[in-house]
């Protein structure tokens, strides 16, 4: 097991892709497309993007202190905002439904 977020996220993306390709091979009736595989891999890669450094300590100690308790969001909520920002700021050609799926 790796405790480095980057390695963890790359690993989750890889395993998500393997799982999707295996499902596609074993059950063609599912109609899994290359785009479906890409979206599941992107979701795996970005699943922890909302975590700050030092993860839960950052979420439970740092954020409340620097925002004077005004921001009460989970890392999942931060992830949603970050994915939306990354897509918009970089002009990524992806539909709103696909963004919601990844989030």
Residues classed as catalytic = 75
**Which whole-number Å values give the CA distances from 14 to 7, 8, 79, in the listed order?**
10, 10, 20
Dist CA 74 CA 71 (whole Å): 9
C-alpha 51/C-alpha 76 separation (Å) is 8
**Dihedral in degrees, nearest 10, Cα atoms 6, 78, 103, 15:** 20
């Amino acid at each position: 097991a790796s405790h480095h977020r980057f390695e963890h996220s790359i690993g989750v993306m890889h395993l998500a892709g393997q799982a999707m390709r295996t499902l596609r091979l074993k059950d063609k009736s599912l109609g899994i497309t290359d785009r479906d595989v890409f979206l599941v891999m992107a979701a795996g890669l970005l699943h922890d993007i909302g975590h700050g450094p030092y993860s839960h300590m950052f979420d439970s100690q740092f954020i409340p202190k620097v925002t004077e308790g005004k921001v009460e969001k989970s890392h999942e909520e931060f992830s949603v905002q970050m994915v939306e920002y990354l897509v918009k700021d970089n002009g990524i050609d992806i539909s709103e439904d696909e963004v919601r799926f990844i989030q």
